[in-house]
Structure 1
Amino acid sequence: MRASLIAIIVVVGVVASLLAYYNYNINLFNPSQVSSPQPGVQEGNHVNAQPGGVPNTAEQTGMQSSQEEQGREGRRLTLTELFKYAEQSVVQISVQKGSARGIGSGFIYDLQGHVVTNYHVVENASRVNVTFLDGTEYRARVVGVDPYTDIAVIKVDDVSRDKLRPLPLGDSSKLEVGEQVAAIGNPFGLSGSMTSGIVSQLGRMLETANGFNIPDVIQTDAAINPGNSGGPLLNMYGEVVGVNTAIASRTGEFAGIGFAIPSNTVKRIVPVLIEEGKYRHPWLGVSGRDVNAEIAEILGLKEARGFLVIDVVANSAAEKAGIKGGSRTVTLSDGSMIKVGGDVIIAIDGNPVRKINDILVYLQRAKSVGDQITLTVVRDGNVMDVRATLLERPNPLESP
């Protein structure tokens, strides 16, 4: 029974080299095994307040700019106030995937009925329904998806405007380790559940079940379980600072390590998904290894930092720029073999590169398809600059 609740699992390395599972938290179940979830708790008797407790009387547009000016300038909320403020903006998402049904979460993005959730919640769904806090359910359609960041936008049509209470997007770059946050969602189909915790770390790399690496991810100890996927991670000013997406666990249930896609990534990608249905990610086209002490010794590097290029993808931006891949194979002390002789990337546009995450975060935050970048590399013992024009990352949904 417990195994049936685990949707997608991939094995990755975590702190102290322990093996764990990244569990993507859509609660999938067989209709014959689990009864239908309850429709949600009773609607609260409160006004929809802006962050800091100010009643919301202003018209909100599809973009969040006017709301972003609120946030940290307003009053810090208690957990009780935060829940009352946000509860009616969080929805339950029910999906049909073949013979199985699934439950995830999402939050209202704008007054046009757009809802932000995770890509893996609606991936391959033949039917998507949205249930509001008062139990009313509506059919939804998928507007746009981005598997590379696990973000999706769905839209509820023909819903009364008073049900649409968008949450403001905060600035995730202002988050600090130790800051209090709260998650609201539908774990195991339990509608409108809230948990709280802190920001455990920032800038994590999350490997998805599809094999993609999502950079710049927020780590939190706020309890996240199957069914929480797509729900908001909120700061204490009522702003969405992340979209809950995964946990690291050996059992498939929460073990103190949860992950959320940062709100600044949402700000960049969601408007494009609404307009175009997909997001064009800038792409360099290299694979390799982060330089550790052993690799640095083999390469004769003074410092154990940088990204060793092992392979260069054909027709990629890296190949067109002349980035060099590995040419000979060596065996490391753990018995694994790698190709060396390729470029070691130590900076991108003057920003130091310690590992691949630094490259991916920079591209995600600051660059678009067609932009030029300058890579500083160590090649055959010499430091040199290489100019590259970023191409579009191949779309896995379109590639054969």
Structure 2
Amino acid sequence: MRQADRTIFVRAPMPLLLVGLFLALFTITACTSAPAAQVDADAAALTNTGNTAHGQAETTQASWQGSNDTAGSVQAQPESPSANNSNTATTVELDADSVVAAYEKVIGDVHDNVLPSVVSIFVLNRVEFTGQIPSIPSPFPFGQTTPPSGDSKQDFFYRNGQGSGFVWDTEGHIVTNRHVVADAERITVVFSDGSETDAEVVGMDDDSDLAVIKIDRDAELLQPVTLGDSNAVRVGQLAITIGNPFGQEFSTTTGIVSAIGRTLRAGESLFSLPKVIQTDAPMNPGNSGGPLLDRRGQVIGIDAQIITRSGANTGIGFAIPVNIAKQVVPELISSGTFTYSWLGIRGTDIRAETAELMGAPADTRGALVIALADGGPAQKAGLLGSTRSMQTDEGSIRYGGDVITAVDDNPIGGMNDLIIYLLENTRPGDAVRVSVVRDGGEVTHLWVTLEPRPQAPN
């Protein structure tokens, strides 16, 4: 196995981001009864872009200059206190360079602390040759591939792929994306210290695009990641990713969480994946399966997809929320598969005009049932799909079906809420109480016994 250069890629500083973080993170007040002002500062991170040539990182320096062209400083001036307020305002001058240094330290500490838990994954796939070089099936998954070169008369060839992963436990389980290791004839895992070992697949899940592989390695040499809480992720917070983009092993990139609550499909799955995290932290082919981290170095997501026309990063990347991994991975380890609860509907979020057409209040929120799976749990329980449609300037509106507003008395604001509730709170065989608003505004409660999700056809 070749030994690739290890290069760190990070993003250029953004002055507006720095100012915003600075003002948000530094609270500067002094009480008249206190002997000194208390300053509570939480470090954030600002980093520079590195371009590489033959493995050598070249860093662009950036400085923040004050209005007098000297090293910049920032003054924080709270509002003047009222006459009834015993606190007095204090102006504290903070050196901009030390703020940036603290910000950069967060990135460096996360990289150093988490790096032993991150792995580069290299796979070898056998591909049947049909006379044409197969293309990557989707622009989104990014396990990098290498097509064959030259003319070949054999009926198959081997294709190299690469991705990333991270150590889950001290038993040798490593989490990555399904699309990185699916159909691999050989899997090699490389650690940041240069050691490498073969791995085998333990389990895979199509719908979440998660997979678990296992290596044989002494427990004391394995450092599992620390799992965060993806439900606590906020737009604007720092996002850090470590991975193997384009074979540049153990590269670190930074950005922010751009959006939360996205809904995507994984590969050929028939079902949507909820609560997906969107980030502008650069991801490229080879990042798949690597961890998306917060400023504490906790995993908040698993890098999985990008939107791109060129195959490279465009600033729109998506990560599977770690809370889904917390549910899926243990079952993949124990049984090799994960079984989801299935309601058996196709639906969408209800809109105000749709609610009015149905005689329901315009502020009705819920999941509008568009269609029912034949013989599925919802159909058996008596739920109704939409029966009518109306053309508008924005297209066709389907209406007349049940609007699911609650499950087990838990409010459902739309399809994403419904998917999340079933995933996080139910198992196949559970009976749930579904509250629906029917055409005409009637509220009905139905008991539905959930079934296992059907598998996608091969």
What TM-score bracket applies, with the shorter chain setting the length? 0.7 to 0.9
Amino acid at match of 2:262: R
Alignment of 1:151-190 (within 5 A): 151-157=210-216, 159-190=217-248
Alignment of 1:23-102 (within 5 A): 38-39=3-4, 41=6, 78-97=106-125, 98=127, 99-102=158-161
Q: Which of 178, 199, 212 is matched with 1:119 structurally?
A: 178
Distance in 2 separating the partners of 1:208 and 1:148:
6
Shift of residue 220 of structure 1? 1.5
Alignment of 1:1-400 (within 5 A): 38-39=3-4, 41=6, 78-97=106-125, 98=127, 99-157=158-216, 159-210=217-268, 211-303=270-362, 305-336=365-396, 340-381=399-440, 382-396=442-456
Shift of residue 275 of structure 1? 0.4
- Partner SS, residue 280 of structure 1: coil
Amino acid at match of 1:238: G
Shift of residue 208 of structure 1? 2.6
Give the gaps of 5 or more residues in structure 2. 8-42, 44-102, 128-157
State whether residues 38 and 190 of structure 1, in contact with CA within 8 Å, keep that contact through their aligned partners in structure 2: no
State whether residues 182 and 233 of structure 1, in contact with CA within 8 Å, keep that contact through their aligned partners in structure 2: yes
Shift of residue 37 of structure 1? 6.6
What do the CA deviations read for 1:65-98 (whole angstroms, capped 9, x no partner)? xxxxxxxxxxx97111111111121111111222
Distance in 1 separating the partners of 2:367 and 2:245:
39
What do the CA deviations read for 1:33-57 (whole angstroms, capped 9, x no partner)? xxx8743539xxxxxxxxx9xxxxx
Shift of residue 355 of structure 1? 1.9
State whether residues 39 and 131 of structure 1, in contact with CA within 8 Å, keep that contact through their aligned partners in structure 2: no
Task: Tell me: CA distance 1:315–1:179, structure 2 relative to 1, closer, same or farther (3 Å).
Answer: same
Task: Tell me: CA distance 1:95–1:355, structure 2 relative to 1, closer, same or farther (3 Å).
Answer: same
Which residue of structure 2 lines up, in the alignment, with residue 7 of structure 1?
none
TM-score, normalization: structure 1?
0.76
State whether residues 37 and 189 of structure 1, in contact with CA within 8 Å, keep that contact through their aligned partners in structure 2: no
What do the CA deviations read for 1:207-245 (whole angstroms, capped 9, x no partner)? 233143100111212111111010011112221111111
Greater shift, 362-371 or 176-185, is seen at 362-371
- Partner SS, residue 79 of structure 1: helix
Task: Give identity over the alignment, percent.
Answer: 45
**Number of equivalenced pairs:** 330
State whether residues 118 and 151 of structure 1, in contact with CA within 8 Å, keep that contact through their aligned partners in structure 2: yes
Identify the structure with bigger relative contact order (alpha carbons < 8 Å, sequence gap 6+).
Answer: 1
- Partner SS, residue 249 of structure 1: coil
- Partner SS, residue 198 of structure 1: strand
Q: CA RMSD in A?
A: 2.4
Shift of residue 392 of structure 1? 0.9
TM-score, normalization: structure 2?
0.67
Amino acid at match of 1:121: V
Shift of residue 349 of structure 1? 2.4
Distance in 2 separating the partners of 1:331 and 1:102:
47
Distance in 2 separating the partners of 1:233 and 1:129:
22
Which residue of structure 2 lines up, in the alignment, with residue 59 of structure 1?
none
Greater shift, 304-313 or 277-286, is seen at 304-313
Greater shift, 130-139 or 111-120, is seen at 130-139
What do the CA deviations read for 1:84-131 (whole angstroms, capped 9, x no partner)? 111121111111222321110000111111100011111222222111
Task: Tell me: CA distance 1:237–1:291, structure 2 relative to 1, closer, same or farther (3 Å).
Answer: same
Shift of residue 368 of structure 1? 1.8
Distance in 2 separating the partners of 1:344 and 1:230:
37
Distance in 2 separating the partners of 1:123 and 1:298:
47
State whether residues 327 and 341 of structure 1, in contact with CA within 8 Å, keep that contact through their aligned partners in structure 2: yes
